[in-house]
Structure formats: structure tokens, C-alpha cells
């Protein structure tokens, strides 16, 4: 089914072509049917807020397409991006399971689809199907690992260059070629990258300039080319 923004709506979880690739979606036929019955599907534009930090947890969002920025803001107004979520991620799960307010704000970075599952319906699904509870445990473990890596990046890195190199390395993991290079679509602004590594927009612009001069990266329109993982790894190790 065609939807706004040129998207194809995935309105049936059981026939979704990507369900085998995602932890929470890859359920047995019976559990998958139950999940399909309790979710509601919607398409969201860029900039739409799925939920806001401090809001009571009304349910989770299973991201089908698009990217979502998860961020937290201090009382002084400083914002840190904790994660960029991709298709298959379950958003708001920590808050829903613990019954605590959402700890981050979830904002669509581009048009996409998400399935919403109310909290009570999700908890009942977990009671009925142990395999679904196991998937949730796996997702929570992944969330913990992501938070751990974020703390390491921000807390243990000694310079903005090291933090920036670590971020580029994490981006290049899935697309590295035999020669150590990789390329990806750059959807983040310099300000948003600064919010990920805990620095300013001006510092990020300077780092891009320095890394280009050292031939570590190359920018072609919206495409970022990471020319050598080994060179970035040397920056991190040093």
C-alpha cells in the first residue's frame, strides 16, 4: 500500500519482508499474529515526536522504516543524542517495562512508519508468550550495551578528535569494503553530531575539515566516505 512521502506501508507484521532480521518481529506464527492484532500502524513526517522525555509510558513504538533520534536534555538546555534508531528497534521499551517516564525524546529524522503497541496490551502479550518475553529481554540487553558504549565514548575519550573517530568507526561497521573504506548517507547536521559526541557545532565543523585534510574522510553531497578504518583506529588507540 502506497502512503505519503513515497513510503510503502507494511500493515501486516506476518508478511513483512524484514521480520526475520529484527529481534522483536521474528516471532512464531501464533505470537506474531497476536502482535499484529494489538498494534496500530501510522506514518510519521520528519520532525514528528513519538514521545517526549518525562512523559508517562503509554506504549512502545516498533520502527518499521525511517530513522529516529533519541535525545535527552538537561535543565540548562544542553541536549545529548543517545542513539539513532533504525528499522526494527523497539522504542520506549525501558520505560514501559519499568513503568517509569520515558527517559528520552524520540523524534523522526525522516519520514517513516512505526507500529504502536499500548502498554497493557504489550504486557499481556509477554504473559501469554514466553518467546516474546525473551525477545524483550534481548532488546533490553541491546539497549544496555548501547548505553554502555555511549558512556565509554563520552566519558573515556580524551579529545573531541577521538570521540569523532569513534563515531565514524561505529558508522562504518556495516559497510566496510576490502580496502578499509566505507560510505554512508549523512543525515545528521553538524549540530546533531555535536550532540552525540558532547561538543559544539563549530568543533564538529573543524573536525570534518581536519579529517578531510588528512584524507580520512571525503564528503560528496549527502554521502560521507570514510576512507580508512585503520587510520581512524590509530586515532582512537593513541
Distance CA 170, CA 215 (A): 18
Do residues 11 and 127 both lie within one domain? yes
- The mean pLDDT of the chain is 87
pLDDT of residue 178: 63
Same domain, 51 and 87: yes
Instruction: Based on the fold, state whether residues 101 and 146 are members of the same structural domain.
Output: yes
pLDDT for the residue 42: 92
Kindly state the DSSP code that residue 7 receives in the 8-state scheme.
Answer: P
Q: What is the CATH number of the domain that holds 24?
A: 2.60.120.10
Nearest by Cα to 60 from 32, 111, 102, 23: 102
Report pLDDT digits (tens) over 186-226: 889 999 999 988 889 999 999 999 999 999 999 888 889 99
Domain co-membership, 43 together with 137: yes
Beta strands across the sheet bearing 79-85 = 49-51, 105-108, 68-73, 79-85
User: 83 near 146, Cβ under 8 Å?
Assistant: yes
Are 171 and 223 found together in one domain?
yes
Judged against a pLDDT cut of 90, whether residue 52 lies above it is answered with yes
pLDDT for 157 equals: 65
Do 17 and 94 lie in one domain? The reply is yes
Q: Per mean pLDDT, which range of 24-33, 173-182, 226-235 is the poorest?
A: 173-182
- Pick the last residue of a domain from 155, 171, 196: 155
Report the CATH number at residue 167.
1.10.10.10
Domain shared by 70 and 116, yes or no: yes
Q: Which domain holds residue 104?
A: 4-155
Total tally of structural domains belonging to the chain: 2
Domain end residue (candidates: 155, 178, 211): 155
Please report the pLDDT score of residue 103 as a whole number.
95
State residue 174's pLDDT score.
Answer: 62
- Kindly report which listed range (123-137, 151-165, 215-229) carries the lowest average pLDDT score: 151-165
Q: Are residues 121 and 177 in the same domain?
A: no
* pLDDT of 144 above 90: no
Last residue of a domain, one of 155, 184, 201: 155
pTM of the model: 0.81
> Minimal CA–CA distance to 201: which of 107, 81, 108?
81
Q: How many CB atoms lie within 10 A of CB 151?
A: 10
Q: Dig out the grid coordinates for 79 from the structure.
A: 541536549
Amino acid at each position: 500500500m502506497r502512503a505519503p512521502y513515497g513510503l510503502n506501508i507494511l500493515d501486516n507484521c506476518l508478511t513483512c519482508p524484514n521480520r526475520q532480521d529484527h529481534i522483536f518481529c521474528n516471532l512464531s506464527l501464533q505470537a506474531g499474529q497476536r502482535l499484529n492484532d494489538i498494534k496500530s500502524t501510522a506514518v510519521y513526517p520528519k520532525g514528528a515526536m513519538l514521545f517526549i522525555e518525562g512523559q508517562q509510558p503509554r506504549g512502545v513504538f516498533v520502527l518499521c522504516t525511517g530513522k529516529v533520534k533519541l535525545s535527552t536534555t538537561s535543565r540548562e538546555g544542553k541536549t545529548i543524542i543517545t542513539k539513532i534508531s533504525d528499522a526494527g528497534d523497539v522504542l520506549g521499551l525501558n520505560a514501559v517495562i519499568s513503568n517509569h517516564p520515558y527517559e528520552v525524546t524520540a523524534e523522526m529524522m525522516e519520514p517513516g512508519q512505526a507500529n504502536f503497541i499500548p502498554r497493557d496490551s504489550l504486557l499481556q502479550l509477554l504473559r501469554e508468550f514466553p518467546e516474546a518475553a525473551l525477545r524483550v529481554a534481548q532488546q533490553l540487553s541491546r539497549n544496555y550495551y548501547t548505553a554502555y558504549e555511549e558512556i565509554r565514548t563520552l566519558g573515556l575519550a580524551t579529545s573531541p578528535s577521538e570521540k569523532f573517530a569513534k563515531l565514524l568507526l561505529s558508522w562504518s561497521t556495516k559497510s566496510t569494503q576490502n580496502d578499509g573504506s566505507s560510505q554512508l548517507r549523512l543525515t545528521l547536521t553538524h549540530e546533531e553530531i555535536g550532540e552525540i559526541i558532547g561538543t559544539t557545532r563549530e568543533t564538529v565543523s573543524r573536525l570534518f575539515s581536519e579529517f578531510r585534510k588528512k584524507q580520512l574522510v571525503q564528503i560528496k553531497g549527502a554521502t560521507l566516505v570514510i576512507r580508512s578504518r585503520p587510520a581512524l583506529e590509530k586515532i582512537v588507540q593513541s
